[in-house]
Structure 1
Amino acid sequence: MYHPRLYGRYYDMGFKYGKLLYEKVNFGVPIISNEKMDFGLKSYQMLREYYPEVIEEIEGFACGIQDRPEVLGAFLLSLGVFDTTGQCSVFACRNKEDVIIGRNYDMRYDFKKFTESSLIAPMDRYAYIGQSDVFIGRSDGINEKGLFIAMSFVNGTKVQPGIGFHFIIRKVLENCSVTQQAIEVVQQANISTACNFLIADRMGELAVVESCPQGSFVRRPGAGEQHLFITNQFQSAEMKAFEAEGVAWSKSAERYQGMETLLGGMDGMDLQKAKAILSDGCVCLDLKKERFGTIWSVVSNLNKGIIERAETKPRMNNYKQDTRLAWWLQKRSRS
């Protein structure tokens, strides 16, 4: 897993990282089909309206790798639309004083070589730690305000040119401090595919936005419940009509039931209990035949600012604490 630290103006962040990858590994934009290119170019124009700042970063990255930003943008915005997408498990739990989150990212094992955990600190925006298997978008993250967001793929009935989840998550992390703000940003997006977004803030506000091209629905904890969790299906009756079959192979229902049982049976929550849930055989995927399973895990105490990550299949003892966000906040306060 790569660990870039990027801060400053959007263009400069993109140029720095693109130039580094170009010089170190001769990185170039993979060739995509005409169908993906057409889809991606239409989506790129929509991204320009939704989040123009990140267009500057794409332009800088493209300059760093000596390519055209439209080609790079089309590639990024066609990801996760036509190809196999992650099958993930995410939960958030609130105690009297703390909010604890846990996230497994499940993907083909050969994607491990593309994974990265980045410190991103755009000028005049919130800084955050975010994980991904693509170099500009994010799949999950925790920002300096203690806001967490993560996605899980849903096999929807429709795809359309629009905003990919990677960029929705970035906009949330860079602009939102509380859950309600994040909900509004997610629902403003003309999203290209079906996804669940689990959102939590340090005040204990938890929500899941079930989102697809046809619409969205917000779920919150029921009466007496202190947690929320997602796998790769919609749970609300309002969204079930927009969900297709095809995720049984990844044990989505079994993972959901596993988290429901484990969370319901625990008295309180802390980081060790969160790790136990993520490494449990009912939740952690290891599909040897498909060469598919959990390739990173993250736990965090949002109130204390503690972030720990396992950069392979999670076990109780293979998490390491990430201190880069605290380092950046101290650095910024001294400048």
Structure 2
Amino acid sequence: MDKNDEELVVRLVELSGNYYQFGLEQGSEVRSLPILKQLEQLGKLNVNSNVQKAKELLKSVSPNLFEELIGLAEGLDMEIDHTVKLFSGYDVAFPQMGCTTLVNDGYYVRNYDFSSEMYDARLVWTNPTDGYASVGFSQQIFGRLDGMNEKGLIVGLHFVNNEYREEGFMATTIVRMLLEQCANMEEALNFITNIPHGYCYNYSITDQSGSSVIVEASPQQQIINFTHPLICTNHFESERLREKNRKEVQGSVKRKDYVSSLLSESLSPMSTYHHFNDESSPLFFTQYKEYFGTLHTVVYSSNDLSIIIGVGGNSKPMKFSLKEYKEGTFVLPEYMKGTIKHNK
């Protein structure tokens, strides 16, 4: 391995039972992991977090996830208020990140670009007694960067801007709530337009009907744009929200244009995976120290609940099935490995 290369290990975490048990188990897990080193960084991001308001909202809009936080607090041997402050994603700032998504012909392919130092490196499989089974990449343990549930609902986030912030939830918590509580597009759109948003994000969403939508979400309003094929990156396109973009959106626009050019080809889920995961691709980045390096490529297929995943670049894809996992006929490995190449 080159001195500029880093081995990236993503753990596969299985959670079953009720949400309190989810939290308790993850608290015990996190206490023994390097993720705990992020807590100090997270605490700095959450200086102004309104813990009481966060607790009230969670109890109202997502009581199951509040139960998970109670279990997490116990597993971490931490006060519940401090746990809510660190993990709930309410009234929290977060560094810039990038991501590119294409939804086409029943599959959803995505590259997630961020820093390996602030990456959970956990693919979490949940099979709750009182909710939808799902699979997704976690962030800050509690949240999800992207994921798919047993009903075929698939959701991912796309950072736009944190300059125009208000008190509300960050995108990772919103993605988690959608996966846990919504069976289809109609339910997801009703939920996402009735919850307080703290920041400016795009959400790319599809379901088993084959419809797909980009939700441009700011704290003040959410714009819904049904589109298929769907291509989503890190800028707003609606006239009402365009002014909330960052000053520099050329890179985001360029990625979207490149994905558009791929549509002239006959794209299968696997061929699209390789277009996204190839280290020479215009969609693959190595600026990990600047919070813009590609950490994973994932293809979720809503029709058969299959998943194709690669960690790092030029990664041999691994295939999984949420359907088989829920049925108990699929044994998950403990981890996936890949290599990321830092800029020289």
TM-score (norm 2): 0.84
User: Does the 8 Å CA contact 1:37/1:78 hold for their aligned counterparts?
Assistant: no
Is 2:234 the partner of 1:232? Answer: yes
| 1:78-93 paired onto structure 2 within 5 Å | 81-93=92-104
How many residue pairs match? The answer is 317
Q: Does 1:65 align with 2:76?
A: yes
Query: 2:47 corresponds to which residue?
Result: 37
- Match of residue 203 from structure 2: 197
In percent, how many aligned pairs have the same letter?
23
Once the 2 structures are TM-superposed, how far is the Cα of residue 105 of structure 1 from its aligned partner? 0.6
Residue aligning to 1:52: 63
What one-letter code is carried by the residue in structure 1 that aligns with 2:139?
A: D
Gap change, CA 1:51 and 1:11, over 3 Å in 2: same
Q: Which moved more, 1:126-135 or 1:209-218?
A: 126-135
Instruction: Tell me the SS of whatever aligns to 1:166.
Output: helix
Bigger drift between 134-143 and 168-177 goes to 168-177
Aligned to 1:254: 254
- The answer to which structure has the higher strand fraction is 2
Question: What is the CA–CA distance in structure 2 between the aligned matches of 1:274 and 1:66, rounded to whole Å?
Answer: 44
Structure 1 pair 124–331 and aligned structure 2 pair: CA distance change class (3 A) = farther
In the TM superposition, residue 28 of structure 1 has moved relative to its aligned partner by 7.4
The letter of the residue matching 2:48 is D
1:107-133: CA deviations, max 9, x gaps? Answer: 013234x22101012222110111123
Distance 1:165 1:12, change over 3 A: same
Partner residue of 2:114?
107
| CA distance 1:13–1:291, change in 2 (3 Å) | closer
- Paired amino acid for 1:283: L
Give the conservation status (yes or no) of the 8 Å contact 2:305–2:321: no
CA distance in 2, matches of 1:101, 1:85: 22
What residue in structure 2 maps to residue 130 of structure 1?
A: 136
1:52 Cα deviation from its structure 2 partner: 2.1
Deviations for 1:65-86, whole angstroms, at most 9, x for unmatched residues? 1001211211224589434132
What's the CA shift string for 1:6-65, capped at 9, x where partnerless?
A: 111111110011123325669477235577232252444433332122111011011001
Superposition RMSD in Å: 2.5
Q: Is the 8 A contact 1:209 1:219 kept in 2?
A: yes
The answer on whether the counterparts of 1:101 and 1:299 sit within 8 Å (CA) in structure 2 is yes
TM-score, normalised relative to structure 1: 0.86
Relative to structure 1, the CA distance from residue 28 to residue 278 in structure 2 (aligned partners, 3 Å threshold; closer, same or farther) is: closer
Give, in whole Å, the separation in 1 of the partners of 2:274 and 2:110. Answer: 12
Q: Does 1:299 align with 2:299?
A: yes
Change (3 A) 1:34 1:135: closer
Q: Tell me the distance in 1 between the aligned counterparts of 2:31 and 2:262.
A: 45
Q: Secondary structure at the residue paired with 1:199?
A: strand
1:191-234 deviation per Cα after TM superposition (whole angstroms, max 9, x unaligned): 1111111111122111111101010101112xxxx401111101
Name structure 2 gaps, 5 residues minimum. 1-9, 331-344
Q: Does 1:120 align with 2:152?
A: no
The equivalent residue for 2:265 is 266
Equivalent position of 2:5 in the other structure? none
Distance 1:262 1:80 in 2: 38
1:291 & 1:37 partners in 2: Cα distance? 22
